[in-house]
Amino acid sequence: MNDPRFDRLAELLTTHSTRLEKGEHVLIEAFDVPEAFLCAVIKAARECGAHPHVAIRSTRVLRALVDGASESGIEAWAAIDEHRMKKMDAYIGVRGSENACEMASVDEASMSLFGRKYQKPVHFEQRVKRTKWCVLRWPTPSMAQLAGMSTDEFEDFYFRVCCLDYRRMAGAAAALQVRMQGAEQVHILGPGETDLRFSIKDIPAVACTGEMNIPDGEVFTSPVRDSVNGVIAFNTATIYHGVPFENVRLRFENGRIVESGATVGGERLNDIFDADEGARYIGEFAIGFHPHILDPMKDILFDEKIAGSFHFTPGQAYEEADNGNRSEIHWDLVCIQRPEYGGGEIRFDHETIRKDGQFVVDDLLALNPDQLG
């Protein structure tokens, strides 16, 4: 018997996230995902009058393909997938993995080559810019372990989080979008010597409420590229390119990362930040507010939406909120500011808009967990 939660999520992806219309083509790319869920998405797409196409992937196979691949091999692979992506009006990427660290053994040179020659043309240039797209994880025992939950408990959490009323969230997030678009200076204070200042003047703000990611719950913009100064200490562990990092600390001068460290993974930081010139500059600043995501689980699509968090992203800026920074990397680093994680404060133009993870100005109170949840 089909799990009814599959149908609810498939309906959300096709009618809200990608807003499929009659005659449109949608690519469903699935990494280690049950066939029953793919069938549910295919059915939901056809109920919209769309034409579904499916690419079934394996994270373990992906590692084998990337590790030691030649430039010409990746270019041919990218050309094939880019051609298909150009035929699509929409994209749904469902990404599961039995091992969250599957890519850890791949050397940085191979990951960099994959980023430049495959990810950039197929996804950053074609999929992100020219399709209606949504990316989500799939619940696995590996993810349950990272979250510190049993498999059944995590699955219940996953579907509760993913099937939130995102239309209601959109109404509340609109006020934060207006606030960010009208602000000039941002000041972030917190533990670990966090004292960071930057400008967001004249850079658009984008509310994310279930259209491009599931789960969702953030408003993002980007700093003026050379305006970032100060220190930021991140308190959320993360995995990037299959490598774990903890307690990443960055110091900025005129937008550029000039000093970095971490209690775990610190020896790999310079490899990442030296990938290209843009890797040492910030491409995104976002405030997260999903009411049911409270603790980190080393999965960025969840962690960047944590209630009371923000993320600050070395690397590529999104076209919708563009500060001109270009890079093959885009690494969302998350800091949680609720009291149990040390607290903290975000100020726009000298006014405190959020303190210790709670919005404190009248127009943003609807984004607090007791309202959104």
DSSP codes, 310-357: EEEEEBPPPGGG--S---S-B--EEEE-SGGGT--EEEETTEEEEETT
Tokens at 103, concatenated: 């890519």
pLDDT at 301: 87
Give the span between the Cα atoms of 315 and 327, in whole angstroms.
Answer: 5
pLDDT at 103: 84
State mean pLDDT over 106-133. Answer: 93
pLDDT category of residue 200 using cuts at 50, 70 and 90: very high
Fold classified for 4-162: Thermophilic metalloprotease-like (3.40.1830)
| Cβ(184)–Cβ(205) below 8 Å | no
State mean pLDDT over 146-161. Answer: 92
State mean pLDDT over 222-231. Answer: 98
Give the span between the Cα atoms of 292 and 304, in whole angstroms.
Answer: 13
50 pLDDT more than 70: yes
% the chain with pLDDT above 70: 100
Q: What is the DSSP letter of 319?
A: G
Higher pLDDT, 183 or 147: 183
Question: Which residue from 97, 28, 106 is spatially nearest to 64, judged by alpha carbons?
Answer: 106
84 pLDDT more than 90: yes
Give the span between the Cα atoms of 310 and 353, in whole angstroms.
Answer: 13
pLDDT at 98: 82
pLDDT category of residue 100 using cuts at 50, 70 and 90: confident
Residue ranges matching CATH 3.40.1830.10 in the chain: 4-162
37 pLDDT more than 70: yes
Higher pLDDT, 188 or 111: 188
pLDDT, averaged across the chain: 95
| Cβ(220)–Cβ(186) below 8 Å | no
% the chain with pLDDT above 90: 87
Tokens at 144, concatenated: 């349950």
Least-confidence region, from 210-219, 235-244, 349-358 = 235-244
pLDDT category of residue 34 using cuts at 50, 70 and 90: very high
pLDDT at 1: 58
368 pLDDT more than 90: yes
357 pLDDT more than 70: yes
State mean pLDDT over 43-57. Answer: 98
| pTM of the shown model | 0.82
User: Is 99 strand, coil or helix?
Assistant: coil
pLDDT at 42: 98
State mean pLDDT over 47-66. Answer: 96
110 pLDDT more than 70: yes
How many Cβ atoms sit within 10 Å of the Cβ of residue 56?
Answer: 12
63 pLDDT more than 90: yes
pLDDT category of residue 217 using cuts at 50, 70 and 90: very high
Least-confidence region, from 60-64, 84-88, 278-282 = 60-64
State mean pLDDT over 113-138. Answer: 94
pLDDT category of residue 316 using cuts at 50, 70 and 90: very high
